[in-house]
Structure 1
Amino acid sequence: MKAFAKNFLNGIVTIVPIILVIFVVYKVFEFLDSILGNAFRSVLKDAYIPGMGLLATLALITLLGWLSGQYISGKIVRLVDYLLDRIPIVKSLYSVIKDTINSFIGEKKSFSKVALVHMPGTSMKVMGFITSEYVEELADPLKDHIAVYVPQTFQVAGITVLVPRRDVEILDVKPEEAMKFILSGGVTSNGKQNGMVE
């Protein structure tokens, strides 16, 4: 019975991460394929091949990226950007989405610096990512503060804290490694352990 339980737990440790990754990749593929795929399906019907919608979406995004760099079409894109930035309610949503995407893949990437925040009055430290080194435009008292995003463990959520510069230490750690460490609750720091039950 003990051997059965051990093998069962090892099976869970081995197969569940694989199944979850395949499931997530499949759902992402399904979503991206459906953006233009639904239109293709209604026209092509049985001739539709899964993935055509995804390829068309990638091609369209690339084409729009190229057009945004051209003179005339670029002016149109900037005009749409300007209008979305002026419409009440819409501008808040638009700016959040735009800034978030820019922080990950834009020229001025956030999450590129891993920070260790010293908790005042304790020896505890919190790991996060510097998202802005200049927050004084929000209010004068924040002149010597920076914004640090602290992800929450075991979920895709977090909080942004404004911390005095003196309480923040920049770590020489890859952002991807730091994110894995935080989201896993420190489990990934176990190095080369494979999680097998002895």
Structure 2
Amino acid sequence: MNGILTIVPIGLVVYVVVQSFRFFDSLLGNSLHEKLGDVYVPGFGILLTIVLITLVGWLTTYWFSAQLIGIVESILQRIPFVKTLYKVIRETIESFVGEKKSFSKVALVTMPNNPMKMLGFITTEDVAKLGDELSDHVAIYVPQTFQVAGLTFLVPKEHVQILDITPEEAMRFILSGGVSGS
């Protein structure tokens, strides 16, 4: 039993890291491997991907390239479906690494007429734009245990209590089904 408890977590972490490495290396690595043949070194694709992402980020700080990226964004925002997909992806990424982080408040939701409670993250404190009857609600994202999925609930504010724990502790607790992070 101790062997399983030791090997399985290590094996799963190694597997996820290797698969992630292969995926990111293949973004540019596959075409580089075709052109370079035996000279190609595994990892060069991920290195080049990181360099390109950094270069684009650096270029966006300058007027000309910021204008060029603005033009590309305006084109994407005019195409049906693509504009919705682009907006969702951009806002999701900004919520994790941008200035306005979404998962900054951990919430404990009391279920009405039920002793059960639900742990989640306040993503939006003003949902009145969805309807006047929701002016006293907040949006709470509840991740699902053992998955990278979740549900968003609109919960009356009186049923929400902000907890004094870090989002990382709460996410670890939720994703592990309460086994970790307690």
Look up the match of 2:148. Answer: 156
Whether 1:102 aligns to 2:94 is yes
* Secondary structure at the counterpart of residue 161 of structure 1: strand
* Secondary structure at the counterpart of residue 120 of structure 1: coil
- Residue type of the alignment partner of 2:45: G
Q: Percent identity between the aligned chains?
A: 59
The CA deviation string for residues 4-23 of structure 1, in whole angstroms up to 9 with x for no partner, is xxxxx111111011001000
Look up the match of 1:187. Answer: 179
Q: How far is 1:86 from its partner?
A: 2.1
- Residue type of the alignment partner of 1:173: I
- Residue type of the alignment partner of 2:98: G
Look up the match of 2:9. Answer: 17
Look up the match of 2:22. Answer: 30
Q: How far is 1:91 from its partner?
A: 1.2
Whether 1:128 aligns to 2:127 is no
Q: How does 1:22-171 map to 2 (within 5 A)?
A: 22-171=14-163
C-alpha distance in 1, partners of 2:156/2:78? 33
Q: Structure 1: which 5+ residue stretches go unaligned?
A: 1-8, 191-198
Count of matched residue pairs:
182
Runs of 4+ displaced beyond 6 Å: none
* Secondary structure at the counterpart of residue 115 of structure 1: strand
Q: How far is 1:88 from its partner?
A: 0.7
Contact 2:124–2:138 at 8 Å: present in 1 too? Answer: yes
Distance 1:56 1:37, change over 3 A: same
- The TM-score, its normalising length taken from structure 2, stands at 0.96
- Residue type of the alignment partner of 2:71: L
* Secondary structure at the counterpart of residue 137 of structure 1: helix
Q: Larger Cα Rg: Structure 1 or Structure 2?
A: 1
Distance 1:189 1:64, change over 3 A: closer
- Residue type of the alignment partner of 1:147: A
Q: Structure 2: which 5+ residue stretches go unaligned?
A: none
Higher relative contact order, structure no. (Cα contacts within 8 Å, ≥ 6 residues apart): 1
- The TM-score, its normalising length taken from structure 1, stands at 0.88
* Secondary structure at the counterpart of residue 123 of structure 2: strand
